[in-house]
Every structure is written in C-alpha cells, then in structure tokens.
Amino acid sequence: MASNNTLPAQTGHPAPHRSRVGLAALLFGIGAAPVAWNAQILFSSALSGFVCYPHDAPLASPLLGGTRSLMVAVNLSGIAIAIVAGLTSWRSWRLTNAERPGSFHHLLELGEGRTRFMATVGMLTSVLFLIALAFGLAVLCLVPPCGG
C-alpha cells in the first residue's frame, strides 16, 4: 500500500538554529511581560487596599502620601520589563528567522522551527501585556485614588 504523504521527509534537527539563541532568552521573552503585569496587579491591589480601606469603610484620600507615585513607578517598571522582553524576543526571532524555509503555516504542520515559534510567541505576549500595563497606567492617571 503506497502512502500519499505530500510532506517532505525530515532530514535534520527540527530547530537547526537553536544554538543561536539561548533557552533563557526565549523563556524571558515569553514570560517576563506576563509576570510583570501580574506583579503590577498584585502590588497595586494590595497597596491600594491597604491605603484606601484600612477598616470597614473606605477613605476619601489615601492613608499614606505618595501612594500614586509609587504605583506609577511600579507600572513604569512593568512597562520597561515588557519592552525589554519584547526586544529580546524580536532579537531571538531575527536570529532564527531563516531556521526553515517556508511560511509559518507550513512549519506548524511539520513541527519545525520551534525556536522561531517561541520567539514569535514571546513577541506576541510582550505586546499584549504591554498594552495591559499601559491601560493600568492610564487608570492610575485618570481615576482618583480611593475614589475620592
């Protein structure tokens, strides 16, 4: 029985350019922006909860001065981390862009070019979480602290 498989046979390693980019750079590109966003959300929620709701009733103004400045600094740090992660992923993608010939659709069917795929995922997550961090910064700038 003859096989009608139209996919070319694999002749080498599925990620031939894996030595050009370290695993740490790929994982940083994928995970740094989500971790920065998560840290920003957790820190901002805890801090605003502490300074605006120390008891059962909310306060009209924060309990501690400089709360908004601290929260803006945390947001800007998260934005900087997301930008660095995106640039790291972009650099990784540039180094592995020619890993295999063909479009990404073709490579997904074959399971080849995984280093380039991980770099692409890193660029996408960095951009998406950078947008989320920017919205968090906009909220800090537009909404008064403690709702008052």
- Mean pLDDT confidence for 93-120: 69
Show Cβ contacts of residue 116 under 8 Å, excluding neighbours closer than 6 positions: 17, 93, 96, 97, 99, 100, 104, 107
Distance of CA 110 to the CA centre of its chain: 26
- DSSP character for 17? T
Q: Is the Cβ–Cβ distance between 46 and 143 less than 8 Å?
A: no
52 within 8 A of 58, measured Cβ to Cβ = yes
pLDDT in tens, 41-58: 999 888 888 888 877 777
Residues 6+ apart with CB under 8 A from 7: 109, 110
Query: Domain ranges in the chain?
Result: 21-147
Most confident of 55-69, 108-122, 130-144: 130-144
Q: Model's pTM, two decimal places? A: 0.77
pLDDT: which is higher, 78 or 19: 78
What token pair was written down for 98? 């020619």
